[in-house]
Each structure stands twice: as C-alpha cells, then as structure tokens.
Chain A
Amino acid sequence: MKFIPNSSIKDSMLKEMGLNNIKELFSDIPKKISVKELNLPKGLSQQETNQKLRKIACKNKTFYDMPCFTGGGIKPRYVPSVVRSVTSRSEFYTAYTPYQSEASQGFLQSMFEYQSMISELTGMDIANCSLYDGVTALSEAALMCTRVKRKKTFLIPQNISWEKKSVLKNYAKGPEIKVKEILYDKKTGKIDLKELREHIDEDVSGIYLENPNFFGIFEDDVHEISKIAEDAGSLFVVGVDPISLGITKSPGDYGADIVIGEGRSFGNPMDFGGSSLGIFACKKEFLRQIPGRVVGLTEDSEGKRAFCMALQTREQHIRRGRATSNICTNEGLCALAATTYLSWLGSDGLEELSRINFENGQKLAEDIESVDGFEKAFTGIHFNECLIKSSKDANQINKGLLKKDIQGGLIVDRWYPELKNYMLFGISEMHSDEDREKLVSALEEVSNV
C-alpha cells in the first residue's frame, strides 16, 4: 500500500467494469513503445526512507554547524514558529490554486492581505500574489515595461547579480528587447549617473535600479534617477531587499512605477536557494498589464464580502497565446508564509529587524576592516552585505575559513574581472557577536599564513 487505497481491490473493480486485466486499460499504447520495467530501485518503507535521508542530511553542513557570511542575496533568517504552524495547516498546503473561490476563501483572503501588505511596503497601489523569485520578477517587469511603453530598450545597472542578467537575457529574446548595462561608479559602488544619462533615449521602456545593489550599497540618487526616467518617458523599476524597507523609504515614495524583490526572507527558510518568492508590485494604471495571479475583493450573491481571483482575462488559461505571462503555478505557500510573518512582526518588529540588519552590516564591515589586508571596496553606505577587497588570494582565504568552520564571502571576479580578490560578505539578525568574533580571529589567522 503506497498511498494507493484501491490497490487491494483492483480485481473486483475491474470485474465490475467488465474487464479481466488492468492491461486492457493500456491497450492503446503501441507495443513498440510499451515499457516492461523501469530500471529503478525497489521502493523503501517510510522508516527506511527516513533513515536514509538522515544519513544524506549529515553530508550537509548547516548554518548552525558553521556560520555563513556568504553574500549574494540569501541569508539565514529567524522563522517564527507561528509561520510554520500556519503553513503546515494542510487545508492550505494541500490546496490547489483557488479557482473555486467558495471553497478557497481562506487562501484567497490571505492572498488579498499579502497583496495589501506588499503594496504598503513598496508604496505601490497594487501587487500580485507572487512570481517564481526576485530574479524572474525583474524579467517580468522588463516585459511589462515593453508592453506598456511599446519601446524596445531596457536599462539595467551593472551592479546587479549575474543571475538576473542571464535570466533577463532569456526573457528578452522573445519580444527582442535590447538590454543595456549601465556601469557602476568605481568609487562609490553606486550606479554611474553620467553613464545613465548617456544611455537614455526615447527608445528606453524602463530603467532598473536595485536598492541595495549587488555590492550591498544603497543607491541614494533615487530622485535624480526617477527624474531621468520620467523625462525620457520610461518607467522606473526598483528592486528591493524587503527587509530593508523597515528603515528605508518605500520606492513608491521616490517615484518607482514597478517594484520587485525576493521575498523569501519573509518567513521562508533558505532551502538551498528554493523555494523562493517573487515580489511584484506596481501602480494602478498598469493593472491590466500585470503578470501572474491577482486576488480581488468582491461580493457573493447575497452581498456578503467575498474574495476571488480577479482579472483572469489576462491569464494563460483564458487568453492563451495573448496572456500577459505564461505563469500558472506561482509561489502561493511562500506568500502565505510572508503574510503570516509580516502580521506576526508588525510595523514595529519590521523596523527593529531592519535596523538590526543595518547595524550588523556596519559592525561586520568594521570588524573585517580591523584585520590587516581587508578593506571596504566602495565608499557608498551599505545595508547588510559588504564588498571587501582582500590583499591576499580570496580563494585561499575562503579555504582557510572553511577549515575553521566558517562559510566565507562570495568571490565576485567571475562576473567582475576588475574586482579580483574582492569578496561579498553578508550578515543578518541570526549572526551573534560570537559569530563575528569567530570570523575576525579566523581572518587574522588565515591572512597571516
């Protein structure tokens, strides 16, 4: 019995149907392609499976085995027990996309609350129920800019992750969008405004800016950039680390038209990089161009408040080839985790969390700079990640740290050859003072070898 209740009564069911053999139900598969037996192991019992997986898990080191200071977006996060308790309710996690609204009011209302809180955070009018991740969210934003503005160039800064650039290149192929990179300022680590002004023209549908950017630096020329976009008739797209929004302005307050981000940090574990949560919010005027699922408030036949999926006519199951996106399955449960997390945290908790991340980020940089041979790469103010220039070979440093049970910084020269031996370090609310002290003394020892 492997989750197949009728296994034991299949013969009597066949008989009731006037059949002799289950093979008759597969008689339409040509002999030439019918399979005798798959070359897979025999199934294991649940106990055997559990024990096997325990052994496999032991081959991994977790954040609790060795502190991880690796930058590049993802951080260990404290996930309150409340979140897991809610997302473990099987009424939620075993449900399908809420096509039948009367049987899905619970999930629909929580998605409405998610959209509301994401709108508040980002300073946008509306948000969707999620996209795959922050990386694909940028691509969807670029496609939306193209649909809205009917122009073919999209500007991105050089100081965003290589993954975002690579994914965008693929999403841009279909509509033949020209993606142009704007260099960063070598001193501050921020986008080079002069470069941006040189590249802007009437064919630009949107300008993307990331706050904080891949180097961890806050982009504070936001009003100037917003003005540049507006003057050129382009949309201003801002990518955020949503944790930073407890202390920084909502991008809507500095002129953003679309806001995207990776929302995993709201109540979701690291999960080796996935599951993830793509945040997508925008101004109301782009309502009918937004990609993905959207939940709306409406009424039932007796005038009672009710929720359902709205604007489905944009979506693939109705509009097919002319849909605003092909997305069907999104990241519903991760959005539910984010909703629970934010309601548990509240505005006070979010501000505190955000401040702790900022302060830990500053302490981290100070600590690392206190070691000879390490200094901050840029003068810009950073959040909870910091690019550090090492005078020694970065690979050797990381190897040494690994031996001392520390995951070191992300080496960035693969994507920025000019930044050889630069390492991106990151920290969150989960790192203790002892963790930082451990890093500092390890760096001292390793760099003295």
Chain B
Amino acid sequence: MYRSAAYDEPLLNELMKSKKEKSKTPKLLPDPLKRKEKVNIPNIDETQVVRHFHHLSQMNYGIDSGIYPLGSCTMKYNPKICEEIASWDGFASTHPLQNESTAQGNLQIMFELERMFCEITGMDYFTLQPAAGAHGEFLGMLLARAFHESNGDFERNEVILPDTSHGTNPASVTMAGYKLVEIPSTTNGTVDLDILEKTLSEKTACFMLTNPNTLGIFENKILEISRLVHDAGALLYYDGANMNAIMGKARPGDMGFDIVHLNLHKTFSTPHGGGGPGSGPVGVKTKLEKFLPVPRLCKNKKGFFFDYDATESIGKIKGFYGNFSVLLKAYVYLLMMGRDGLKETSEIAVLNSNYMKKKILDSGKYGLPYKALRKHEFVLSCEQLKQEKNVRAMDVAKRLLDHGFHPPTIYFPLIVKEALMIEPTESESKLDLDRYVDALIKIANEEPEVVKNAPNNTPVKRVDEVGATKNPVLTWNMI
C-alpha cells in the first residue's frame, strides 16, 4: 500500500540561517538603485538542497504513485518519452525571437499540431497561445466580443452558463466584462431547453457548455441547443475539459460549437506539474478566424513563418506563442496515439468510468443522482452516509488517503449534495479500479469515528484549512 514518507523537513531558511551582509554592487550602477544588503536567501550547499527537495518529493502524491481520479481533471499517465524529448537542447535551447529560418522544426510542430486539433475537434482554425484552459476561455470571450462588435452588434452583454459549469467559466465570463446568467439543469442533469430558449435574447453573446457535462452526461440534445443559440444570434462555446470522453466518437465542431478550448494537460497527457504549466489551445470556425491572436502561423514555399499583420486580430493574450514545451509533449503523444489510439483512449476511459460506477452502485453505499449512462466521469453522492452516520464527502476523501489512494474531486458540481466526482481515465488497470472501489465500499462500512478522524497515515493529519485563511501566514517572514 502507498505510504508517504513523513519528514519534519525544515524550511530552507531553517536549514541555514542567512546572514546580513553588505552587497558589492558595480560602481556604474545608478545610486538610487544600488542594493545595500544582499537578498535574504540562505546559502546552502548542493548536498543539502538535493536532500531537502528529495524529502519534499517523497511527501507528494503523483500519478506515478497511483490512481488519481480527480473528476474533470483527467489525471492520466504522462509518457516518459514526452518528457525526454521536450528536454532536448534542439527544442529547449531555442529562443522565441531567433530567425524563423532557424526554428523551422518548432514551427512545423506547432503547424501540424494546429491541424491535428482541427481534425480532432472539427474546428477550422486553432491558436496555441493560451497557457491554460481558463486562459482559453478568456480568449474565447474576447473572440465572441470581437465577432459581435465587427457585426455592429454592441448590445450583447450576457453569457449564459448551466449550473453544472466549471468554476473557471463564470470567472472568465466576468473577467471579460460580460454579465453572467446561470440556468438550472433539468432533473436529468442536462441543459433545460425551455429555460435556455427563454433566457436567450438579443442580449446573449454566447452560451458556454461542457459536453459531456460535469456530471459525465452527454448533452444529447446538442443539435437543438446549437440551433436555439444560433437562432438567437449568439455563439456556442465548448469547454474542452471533458474532451477525453469523445475523441474519435464525436466532434464539437460537428455539434455546432463555434469556439472550443482544449486542455493539453488533461486530454493530451502533458503533466500537470503540481499546477502547471498547462496549455489551452483555442479552435474556431472560419467566421471567427480573423480575430485570433497574432502571430498566426503560416506556410509558403520557403517554409513556415509567423504573420503579425492580421488587422482584425484581438492582438495577444500571452507572451510569444504559448507554452511551447507543453505543446511539444502533446505533439509527441499524438504521434504515438494516432487515430486508433485516440479512439481507444476515449473508449476505455468511458469503459473504466462506467465499470467503477456500476461496482460502486451495486454496493448500495453511495447514490448516483441523475440518469445512469455516463461518459468518462461520474458524480456520486455521500448524502446517505451523511444521513446515517454523519460521514461527509470530505471525510470519505481523507479516509481514502489512509487506504493509499488519492481522493476524487469533492463538492463539485454544486448541484450534487456531498459530491464525489470520479474520473479514472484510460490509464488505470482493472486491478487498480477494483482496489479503489473496494476502498470506497470499505470506508462506507467503517466506524464513523475512524473516517471522520482520517487521515492518519499521511505526513500530517487533517490540515486546518480554515485557519490558513483566517490567519494567513504566506512567507517565512510572517511566521
């Protein structure tokens, strides 16, 4: 069973106290800027630096440690070959502003990647610039605005979202200056077409949707949704966080979506890095192409080149061309997977999810609100455990750590009470799925006291998160 190491690892400034020392600054430096005292960071020998971070790594759970079934996060295996290739000097030691003729390899990769994403999603054009999914959403909102304004339509100031949407969706909408309109889902957990129709108006700029949605349910009325949205003159936005469910099965472009973002650190196997770097490419239909960020990647007889002259482009949303190292890893992954590998990825991701769901439901210990068929993820409710034993989703999650597993996403989506949102991905073996299911069932049968006091087998016991917010201590100087 997985057990984390448990060091009382000192902070860097406790390993070695830094001493106050005068700076030696160059004479020529302007006086008002001359540093007086050296920066207060310790001078630690390499041996201790290595051991410090080695210890810290041993107190961290990653996908190589075991199953990591965070719903909507698609924590799949990160192939080692992708890491190795991205570290090659031929890519890592290239400068973004070096002459294009000397970066044709990088440009080829980006060009081909754009084409592959177009094919996978059914969109016409892609930009690779956004650094993350939420960044792609924000770009999507800017594109929607540019589109409407270029049509002389300045009145559209609302974006509609279902109540199952990811938290980044509403945040991106308001950041882009739009008014947020959230609509309730049906009792089936899908978009309510009547309410949508009533909510759409000449004020609607866009409807944002995840499909399959965050309950893991495919919005099978998507073509009607698309018609309603477009009849109202609005655009349809696809949050690609759940793309791992439908590769080679269905494409957002064919469903009628106008703007799509992908999360390469989810669907396309690039590591999440403990919170990034990610990548959130955005695809559009032809009518929106001219608004995409500069530079646009083009090809002529001489080779690939960047075009900065798109007059109606919204400009830039990030420095240079996006997180190239992440793009490269996704490119390597796609070359290996090919058309059949991608299709099988989605098939087995959905199989694994439905397999787990069935085994857990057969136990009768957890509930599954909304209808049964799921795609790559499903959302359980611990409401029954709460009623019977006062055991909450948070307790189940923490107890899973004692059983050596990473918990699922909890308390999301908001419309499910005591939610456990589970996405196993295609990377997990049946053996690991069975073990996880067994642990969940075992926890449901354990004494409530045991579950509520979990975790006990981790380097620290349950962490006081409320305290960290009430009395914020964010640096070693604040201790």
Contacts and interface: CB of A to CB of B under 8 A. Distances in A.
Given A40-B339, A96-B70, A102-B463, A296 B171 contact: no
A10 B348 CA distance: 8
B473 interface: yes
Contacts of A173: 142, 145, 176-177
B60 A300 contact: no
Interface in B311-327: 314-326
A275 B326 contact: yes
B338 A95 contact: no
Given A120-B39, A270-B92, A4 B348 contact: yes
Contact of B101 (A37, A109, A300, A402): A402
Given A125-B478, A347-B38, A166 B316 contact: yes
Interface residues of B, number: 195
A176 interface: yes
B342 interface: yes
A346 B249 contact: no
A342 B41 contact: yes
A417 interface: no
A60 B106 contact: yes
A102 B25 contact: no
A419 to B, nearest CB: 17
Given A94-B62, A113-B12, A333 B468 contact: no
Contacts of B53: 86, 89, 110, 340
A53 B85 CA distance: 8
Contact of B345 (A2, A35, A167, A362): A2
A351 interface: yes
Contacts of A254: 32-33
A40 B116 contact: yes
A296 B459 contact: no
Given A70-B98, A274-B277, A316-B171, A301 B338 contact: no
A330 B273 CA distance: 9
Interface stretch (B282-290, B350-358, B380-388): B350-358
Interface string A93-111: 1111111111111110110
A169 B315 contact: yes
A4 B345 contact: yes
Nearest to A271: B325
Nearest to B241: A328
Contact of A327 (B44, B95, B134, B271): B134
A175 B59 CA distance: 42
A61 B33 contact: no
B158 to A, nearest CB: 12
Contact of B92 (A53, A88, A220, A269): A269
A271 B92 contact: yes
A49 B81 contact: yes
A334 B472 contact: no
A136 to B, nearest CB: 6
A116 B277 contact: no
Interface string A300-322: 11101111111111011111111
B246 interface: yes
A313 B470 CA distance: 11
B95 A347 contact: no
Interface stretch (A127-135, A178-186, A367-375): A127-135
B301 interface: no
Interface residues of A, number: 193
A441 interface: no
Central interface residue in A43, A96, A275, A307, by most chain B CB within 10 Å: A96
Interface in B53-67: 53-65
B108 A59 contact: yes
A45 B373 CA distance: 34
Interface in A18-52: 22, 25-30, 32-35, 37-46, 49-50, 52
Given A329-B134, A333-B273, A35 B248 contact: yes
A299 B18 contact: no
A52 B335 contact: yes
A58 B24 CA distance: 43
A203 interface: no
A215 interface: no
B275 A293 contact: yes
Contacts of A304: 460-461
A106 B35 CA distance: 33
B390 interface: no
Contacts of A449: none
A272 B94 contact: yes
B152 interface: no
A107 B56 CA distance: 7
A274 B326 contact: yes
Given A93-B62, A306-B460, A61 B223 contact: no
List the 4 closest A-B pairs by CB distance, nearest first. A57-B90, A43-B338, A273-B320, A273-B96
Given A40-B334, A326-B171, 9 more contacts: A27-B373, A28-B218, A54-B90, A90-B62, A91-B58, A92-B57, A274-B318, A326-B137, A402-B99
